[in-house]
Amino acid sequence: MGKSIDTVCIHGKDVRRFVDNTGSISFPIYQTAAYAHPAVGESTGFDYTRLQNPTREEVERIVADLEDGIDALAFSSGMAAITTLFELFKPGDHIIVTDDLYGGTIRLLDHVNKKNGLQITYVDTSDLEQITSNIKENTVAIYIETPTNPMMKVTDIEKVAKEAHEKDIILIVDNTFLSPYYQKPLLLGADVVIHSGTKYLSGHNDTIAGFLVTSREDLSEKLRFLIKTTGAGLSPFDSWLLLRGIKTLALRMDKHQANAIEIANFLQEHKKVEQVYYIGLPKHPSYDIIKKQCTGFGGMISFTVDSEETAKNVLQKVKLIQFAESLGGVESLITYPIYQTHADVPIEKRLAQGIDERLLRISVGIENAKDLIADLAQALEG
């Protein structure tokens, strides 16, 4: 009988690899760079921590199990994971990418990958027609965020996967905002899933990490070669922090969501709020797709206020909610995308997506919802 996901968060699907004889409940931190060989031609299974480490191997096992993949690779950051992923491609390859995308990914694509010969086309991937009409003979991958950062657009993963696989195109999905607790792209047909492990998987705003998860043996083999070669693997201590954080993923995600629903409803009714972007609201344009492919809505909300002055007042006057640009931790954070997460995105591209001086984004934490609403209320009225 398969284990429930909240159990998998703690134990994985199978018994963990036996690497010590102490009976330690907490998986040990193997803080070592190298491993001794028993004899010539013999190995313990570990040779050098750049290649693999028992603590990193354990967190990779848990994340692969959570995403129902065959392999997961842990990286030193989400951007290290994405950078390594794009080494799968060669100059002249064409990739279709979600237009409303995390600013750091856009920076990588526009200033590094294009320089290296990749062809990038940005489209609204929530519109399948925009994807299909932009596929070329040299299109090798489709890269989507769903929901997107920060405008919360949703792409139908299953439909895009069907279109991609008919043309032998790899489908890549950034699943950071919902985590495997609420969305499993591999089961919907994706080939690779990306996580900024810094966010919900870690959950405590105390470490940086990234993950690639795949359901394909050929991609696993290629990515293993790349992580070994580029040296971007996650350190033993950070791997342990991720293991500890993931144990409470199910509990945290349920609380993030419960709080977010209350806050989204509050914001919808506030006179200074003009638009609320939250995938848990029935008025979301992709609500039917969300209900089909997700088991929950998560804790990310973006909203537009009536003026730039109001936005800046909120950022200055929040007390419990902290003005910072990360997300997915137990503490609630509020971000100003135009000057933080998307500061390096050209202004015309920002404005075209609705990322202007009136847009704010909240990563809803696990504090008491009434306390969070009271803080927003006083900040909006200030």
Whole-angstrom distance between the N-terminal and C-terminal Cα of the chain? 55
What CATH number does residue 296 fall under?
A: 3.90.1150.10
What integer best gives the mean pLDDT of the chain? 96
The total number of structural domains in the chain stands at 2
Tell me, what's the pLDDT at 332? 98
The residues that are catalytic are 50, 102, 174, 199
Residues 120-140: what's their mean pLDDT? 98
* Global model pTM greater than 0.85: yes
Strands (E), the chain: 71-75, 94-98, 119-123, 139-145, 170-174, 192-196, 210-214, 273-277, 300-305, 322-323, 333-335, 359-363
Residues 177 and 34 in one domain: yes
Q: Is the pLDDT of residue 86 over 70?
A: yes
CA dihedral angle for residue 131, residue 135, residue 140, residue 145, rounded to 10 degrees: -10
Domain final position from 246, 271, 290:
246
What CATH number does residue 192 fall under?
A: 3.40.640.10
Token match 């921590």: residue? 49
Q: Is the pLDDT of residue 234 over 90?
A: yes
Distance of CA 40 to the CA centre of its chain: 42
Q: Which residues touch 339 (CB under 8 Å, ≥6 apart)?
A: none
Tell me, what's the pLDDT at 1? 64
Q: Is the pLDDT of residue 283 over 80?
A: yes
Percent of the chain exceeding pLDDT 70 equals 99
Residues 213 and 291 in one domain: no
Domain final position from 224, 246, 268:
246
Reduced to 3 states, what is the DSSP secondary structure of residue 343? Answer: coil
Residues 144-170: what's their mean pLDDT? 97
Residues 264 and 340 in one domain: yes
Domain final position from 213, 246, 279:
246
Tell me, what's the pLDDT at 79? 98
Token match 């050209």: residue? 346
Tell me, what's the pLDDT at 382? 67
Residues 229 and 284 in one domain: no
The pLDDT tens digits of the residues spanning 30-70 come to 999 999 999 999 999 999 999 999 999 999 999 999 999 99
Residues 134 and 256 in one domain: no
Full domain range(s) for residue 345: 250-381
The pLDDT tens digits of the residues spanning 317-374 come to 999 999 998 999 999 999 999 887 776 677 777 777 778 999 999 999 999 999 999 9
Percent of the chain exceeding pLDDT 90 equals 92
Tell me, what's the pLDDT at 347? 73
Tell me, what's the pLDDT at 24? 94
Residues 296 and 313 in one domain: yes
- Please tell me the distance from the alpha carbon of residue 50 to that of residue 344, in angstroms, as a whole number: 31
